[in-house]
Amino acid sequence: MKMLKSTLAVLTAATVFGISGMAQAGATLDAIQKKGFIQCGVSDGLPGFSVPDASGKILGIDADVCRAVAAAVFGDATKVKFSQLNAKERFTALQSGEIDILSRNTTWTSSRDAGMGLVFTGVTYYDGVGFLANKKLGVKSAKELDGATICIQAGTTTELNVSDYFRANNLKYTPITFDTSDESAKSLESGRCDVLTSDKSQLYAQRSKLASPNDYVVLPETISKEPLGPVVRKGDEDWFSIVKWTLFAMLNAEEAGVTSKNVLDEAKSTKNPDVARLLGADGEYGKDLKLPKDWVVKIVSQVGNYGEVFEKNLGKGTPLAIDRGLNALWNNGGIQYAPPVR
Ligand SMILES: N[C@@H](CCC(=O)N[C@@H](CS)C(=O)NCC(=O)O)C(=O)O
């Protein structure tokens, strides 16, 4: 009997997760509803994206994406637990089922999307790799970095991008790789490397953490495309759709002018049919996603629309002061664009 039970357990796990950690449609949402929270994988600490405050609360756009999914599923954005992961740990944590979503400044690439039993749900932030240099070097462009020692984080797309860039430009460099961005930043400060490289958003974040940020300059070049977004396990289309449409809902709310301040009023009295559908006042669009009717009201009232989340974590009022740039909506000079709720 004991044997039979454990065989059954293995068989059940195999059915739910498949041979490579894949889940069947609906299984992830069922499991999440049973345990009562979402386990969200974030970075070790990256201002603007996911960083603990003094009380241990994780702040940042990546953390807020998970809160938004919790608001959609539970009507309660606090029903999230965070796992802080370095670049090397992140994919196994998702494949093994330790986390339900990876929302950790992770670049969408073909090999990650198609070759790892995982799937990206969208783009939270359009980024690109750049360089942070000590001003003492007197360098104005990445093209002047011949012979530089460069700090890079292990297990990232950055490693390959930098090697491609230097080869293409016929420049030499010495890479020093680290497991965490804090180690890279310390090495930049101690002079062990001349330059630190990573996604540009992170260069601003890392510079803001240095003892004298003004001694360092972000060079003008952007040498790659780094679309960063949430990732889930392949094979559970229901969960994939929920995470995907949570981000779309935040973008659509911004586009429609629905904010955390006005969403409750809009839900009651809007005359705009797009807003009525988005907020569940007209139709049953939540049902298609296995979500409550007012899923978008919960997301926007508790977490905010995309623009609010961007400004709060990364925008002009923060130490990062990042422009919307590519991350502005499509009708405002950027490329953030969400299909409609209808
Ligand atoms: N977007 C790139 C880079 C991601 C990455 O891990 N960047 C480092 C460099 S700033 C980082 O986030 N470090 C924060 C940490 O160690 O948790 C990727 O997906 O490979």
For each of the domains in the chain, give its residue range(s) and CATH number, in order of start. Answer: 16-126+228-332 (3.40.190.10), 129-224 (3.40.190.10)
Element (H, E) at 298: helix 295-302
Q: How far is the CA of 214 from the centre of ligand 1 (A)?
A: 23
Percent of the chain topping pLDDT 90: 88
Q: How far apart are CA 82 and CA 136, in angstroms?
A: 39
| Distance between Cα 87 and ligand 1 center (Å) | 6
Decide: 198 in ligand 1 pocket, CB within 6 A: yes
Which two structure tokens, joined as six digits, stand for 208?
A: 């803001």
* 14: pLDDT strictly greater than 80: no
Q: Is 226 in the pocket of ligand 1 (CB under 6 A)?
A: yes
Query: How many A from CA of 82 to the centre of ligand 1?
Result: 17
> Is residue 181 lining ligand 1, measured as CB closer than 6 Å?
yes
pLDDT at 16 over 90: no
Read off the pLDDT band of 10 (50, 70, 90).
very low
108 pLDDT more than 70: yes
CB 202 less than 6 A from any atom of ligand 1: yes
21 has a pLDDT exceeding 60:
no
Cα distances (Å, whole numbers) of residue 332 to 163, 259, 264, 324, 327: 35, 17, 25, 10, 10
Residue 205 DSSP SS3: helix
pLDDT at 323: 94
What is the tens place of the pLDDT at every residue in 291-305?
999 999 999 999 999
Nearest CA to ligand 1 atom 19: 106
CB 232 within 8 A of CB 119: yes
Question: Could you tell me if 151 and 188 are in contact, meaning their C-beta atoms sit under 8 angstroms apart?
Answer: yes
Residues 224-261 have pLDDT tens digits of: 999 999 999 999 999 999 999 999 999 999 999 999 99
Give residue 181's pLDDT.
87
- In the reported structure, the alpha carbon of residue 104 is separated from the centroid of ligand 1 by a whole-number distance in angstroms of 8
Burial 112-139 (b: 16+ CB within 10 A, else e): beeebbbbbbbbbbbbbbbbbbbeeeeb
> What spacing in Å lies between the alpha carbon of 298 and ligand 1's midpoint?
30
* Selected residue with higher pLDDT from 12 and 159: 159
Q: Provide the mean pLDDT of the chain.
A: 93
Pocket mutation for ligand 1, best pick of 153, 183, 218 (most atoms within 8 Å of C-beta): 153
Q: Report how far ligand 1's centroid is from the alpha carbon of 294 (Å).
A: 34
> Looking at residue 4, what is its pLDDT?
40
Is pLDDT of 268 > 50?
yes
Rounded-to-integer distance, Cα 181 and Cα 201, Å: 13
Question: Taking residues 76-95, what's their average pLDDT?
Answer: 97
Confidence of residue 23 (pLDDT cuts 50, 70, 90): low
The single-letter DSSP state of residue 140 is -
Taking Cα atoms as reference points, which of 313, 233, 246, 236 lies closest to residue 65? 246
User: What percent of the chain has a predicted confidence (pLDDT) above 70?
Assistant: 93
At residue 22, the pLDDT reads 56
pLDDT (tens digit per residue) in 147-197: 999 999 999 999 999 999 999 999 999 999 999 888 999 999 999 999 999
